Structure 1
Amino acid sequence: MNMDEMVAWLSRRWVIGAGFMAAAGLAALPILATLVSLPVLLIFLCSPTYMVHQVEEHHHDRFRRFVNDTLFAGRCAMTRRDVLIVNVPVVWGLNLGAAYAAYFLTPAAGMVAGYAMLVNAMGHLIAAARLHGYNPGLLSAALLFVPLGTAVVVTAGPLQSTSVAWHFAALGGALVVHIAIAASAFWRAGMSTGRMLG
């Protein structure tokens, strides 16, 4: 199996895998709650919660088709490979890294997971307001990301002089990730337009 075949194979299966992994992560919460502090527990909870969001968002390739067809008027702004890379190594890696940082360093070091949820939710809510309707992932972003992201930020980094830098770093990291994803989509859409015109 070459790389393209592997990506195609994973692209067809990662969403269902996310659903099972979310269930496994949530099942472990009662044990973890006895072992770690509340901020660390909430940061860990970002992973299975994000996976629940990914199931809503990407089931039947809904989000990619929404981005290409609705937001970019039929241009190819996002491929299945893009979706896979953003959601598996980037999102899962960010949340895993945040949980480790929160546990081994300080909870404030894991706040990027909470801020990433809030930035993501803001994107879904703005799109819903502008388009006057549902977009894939909106429900879990509004009902899960907003309260959990807020809880992470409030509990992991209480506003003190010692945590302000962590807040800026975490918010900056979350914004950089989302801006890079958006920039990639605009770049690919522009390339797609160039190929169609050429």
Structure 2
Amino acid sequence: MKATVSRLQANWVYGGALVGVCLLVLSPLLTAGWPLGERLVWLVLPVYMLHQLEEHDGDRFRLFVNATIGGGREALSVRDVFVINVFGVWGVMVVTLWLMRAVAPDWGLVGIYLVLVNAVLHFVQALVMRRVNPGLWTALVLFLPLGVWGLAEIGPGATPAAHTVSLAAVVVLHVAIVVNVRRRLARA
């Protein structure tokens, strides 16, 4: 069982990319009758899975962070990357979609802010470091248009509290990653 878990942690991105393609192809069928804004939130999950392939193929992102931020030390482990992406992205999107469809469309803002914040962070990091980072291109080409369009569709009808809670939840997720990296580096 331990070997299976290790393989899942090391190779999750490839299964995710394949599932992402399947979800994209099934999207018209699965979201028939949904309002446009909710369809855009649905697309966050498969689009994110494709972004993750660019970002994590060949362990690219973890190695990049460990080299640039960690200075060669392990700032992110294979397990960290797995947990962040499977639970912090896929899991968050599953909960977001359920809440959006079962409780209120406003909950879809979590997914919209998830892609927008990630795109901004990729862009700012590229500017500050003056170099391309893993995931930059799909963040700019896929996340920004999807996020802006989704925000234009769902945002006007959502309450200020929904915007605040959704954005805060996404920021907390990203802060948790930074805290984990700093904790690991302090111990290294």
TM-score, normalised relative to structure 1: 0.90
Q: Which residue of 1 aligns with 2:10?
A: 12
1:36-55 matches, cutoff 5 A: 36-55=34-53
SS in 1 for 2:115: helix
TM-superposed deviation, 1:7: 3.0
C-alpha distance in structure 2 between counterparts of 1:61 and 1:82, whole Å = 12
What is the RMSD of the two structures over their aligned residues, measured on CA atoms?
A: 1.3
Who is 2:86 aligned against?
88
Alignment match, 1:174: 170
Q: Which runs of 5+ in 2 are unaligned?
A: none
Tell me how far apart the structure 2 counterparts of residues 117 and 26 of structure 1 sit (CA, whole Å): 16
Question: How far apart in 1 are the matches of 2:89 and 2:176?
Answer: 13
**Matches for 1:51-62 after TM superposition, within 5 Å:** 51-62=49-60
Partner of 2:106: 108
CA distance in 2 between counterparts of 1:38 and 1:102 reads 13
2:137 is matched with which residue?
A: 139
In the alignment, which residue of structure 1 is the partner of 2:67?
69
Equivalent residues of 1:157, 1:166 under 8 A apart = no
Aligned with 2:73: secondary structure?
coil
State the shift of 1:167 in Å. 0.2
Segments of 4+ moved more than 6 angstroms: none
Letter paired with 2:126:
A
Of 13-22 and 147-156, deviating more is 147-156
Q: Once structures 1 and 2 are overlaid, which stretch shifts more, 58-67 or 124-133?
A: 124-133
Counterparts of 1:26-45 in structure 2, within 5 Å, are 26-45=24-43
Q: Look up the equivalent residue of 2:65 and give its one-letter code.
A: V
Q: In 1, are the aligned partners of 2:122 and 2:136 still within 8 Å (CA)? A: yes
Number of residue pairs the alignment of both structures matches = 188
Match of 1:127, SS? helix
Q: Give secondary structure in 2 for the equivalent of 1:76.
A: coil
Displacement after TM superposition at 1:72 (Å): 2.0
Is the Cα contact below 8 Å between 2:118 and 2:139 reproduced in 1?
Answer: yes
Q: Which residue identity lines up with residue 74 of structure 1 in the other structure?
A: G
Amino acid at match of 1:10: L
Q: How many Å apart are 1:32 and its aligned residue?
A: 3.3
Partner of 1:196: none
Q: Does 1:184 align with 2:180?
A: yes
Query: Match for residue 155 of structure 1?
Result: 153
- The 8 Å contact of residues 32 and 41 in structure 1, kept in 2 or not, is answered as no
Alignment partners' CA distance in 2, 1:154 and 1:96: 22
Shift in Å, 1:107: 1.4
Percent identical? 37
Given that 1:75 and 1:189 are in contact with CA atoms closer than 8 Å, whether structure 2 keeps it comes out as yes
